[in-house]
Amino acid sequence: NNYFKIAVLPGDGIGPEVVNESVKILKVIGEVFHYNFQFMYGLMGAEAIYQTGDPLPESTLKICKDSDAVLFGAIGDPSFDDNPDAKVRPEQGLLKLRKELGLFANIRPLKTYSSLIEKSPLKKDIIEGTDIQIFRELVSGIYFGEKFTDEEGAYAYDVCKYSREDIVPIVHMAFQEAQKRKKKVTLIDKANVLDTSRLWRKICKEVAEEYPDVQLDFMFVDNAAMQLILNPKQFDVIVTENMFGDIISDEASVIGGSIGLLPSASIGNTNALFEPIHGSYPQAKGKGIANPIASILSTAMMLDHLQLEQAANKLRESVEYAIENKYVTVDLNADQPYSTSEVGGFIADYIKFSEKSYYN
Ligand code: IPM
Ligand code: MN
């Protein structure tokens, strides 16, 4: 099969700019490797609210459900953040999409690039050689529990709920990944305080029995926040609940030198979505300065998911080539910055000219 339906949701802020580079590159990959990608565009987020009143219009959901993979940019708009009374928020679109598509596992890989090691505010000795795979549960927990704010605005609550069915599948995924790596899984939780965390621990121990070759560790999230920047090399695979995963993955991004580099894959049983872990960076919108690499590496994860390993590896190779040769945006090279589309174009050209098949 070489025909793939890709749903493209550019979203808000810099989302459209970075996704544009990914689409540009996918078109080149299609030519070079003889794949036929069909792109179907949909609205989501603030842009969708402005145009339709709904952060996730029905038509967008349908495009995504019909797709082989969803490529998503970013979500969020400051005009909503400053307004606590807003009834609809852009983020609701993404949360609903994750839930509707059943994207229970959000995978966030993290590694250092030797040419960028100086970019991290952390010391070289500490971060060099870090290679972590974070598995964040994505469709349960406090994000999706009952929420309430009383009329007077005097109190509010958010319920954090987990069931066995929410936890088991992602824990298996984490263990299976660890088997291909350094054979260590760390559950990050707050089991000294939270019942949901104690359930996670219990289930992790049970699942671990099926993977005797993998070591299972537990770490409280407050300590993990510290350990991640004190000694990140101690981690291999991390598995954690929704909100802890959100927080520690942003923290961990500091290790790689720029949050503009970090991709993610959100996987369910029938659908998959690929997005950078960075947000919509509204201050940079339209300026052509946003780093497209997180989106481009998310595209590489998408190619992996579609079992197009050769193309995925070629794409990662070209990103590494761009980084090693300082063909990067201002966040990574303030002295001689390239624009968003120059970086994307460079990567696209590298793929074209380094693949002999292009000339055949
Ligand atoms: C992320 C984002 C989202 C989240 C927001 C935009 C709802 O921060 O993907 O990490 O909190 O999951
Ligand atoms: Mn986040």
Closest CA to 293 of 323, 257, 333, 253: 323
Choose the catalytic residue: 189, 246, 281, 338: 246
State which amino acid sits at residue 71.
L
Q: Which CATH class is domain 1-101+271-360?
A: alpha beta
- State the Cα–Cα distance between residues 233 and 246, nearest whole angstrom: 20
Please give the CATH number for the structural domain made up of 105-260.
3.40.718.10
Q: How far is CA 322 from CA 118, 120, 128, 259, 325, in A?
A: 17, 18, 20, 17, 5
Q: How far is CA 19 from CA 255, 293, 295, 340, in A?
A: 24, 10, 6, 10
Q: Is 12 in the pocket of ligand 1 (CB under 6 A)?
A: no
What pTM, to 2 d.p., does this model score?
0.95
In the chain, what are the domain boundaries? 1-101+271-360, 105-260
- For the stretch 269-328, pLDDT in tens is 999 999 999 999 999 999 999 999 999 999 999 999 999 999 999 999 999 999 999 999
Q: Is 75 in the pocket of ligand 1 (CB under 6 A)?
A: yes
- For the stretch 145-204, pLDDT in tens is 999 999 998 999 999 999 999 999 999 999 999 999 999 999 999 999 999 999 999 999
Catalytic residue list contains 131 = no
How high does pLDDT run on average in the chain? 95
Closest CA to 104 of 226, 270, 304, 256: 270
Same topology between domain 1-101+271-360 and domain 105-260: yes
Q: Which residues surround ligand 2, an ion (CB under 5 A)?
A: 246
* Cβ count within 10 A of residue 38: 12
C-alpha 69 to ligand 1 mean position (Å): 19
pLDDT band at 91 (very low <50, low <70, confident <90, very high): very high
Choose the catalytic residue: 222, 287, 349, 358: 222
pLDDT band at 259 (very low <50, low <70, confident <90, very high): confident
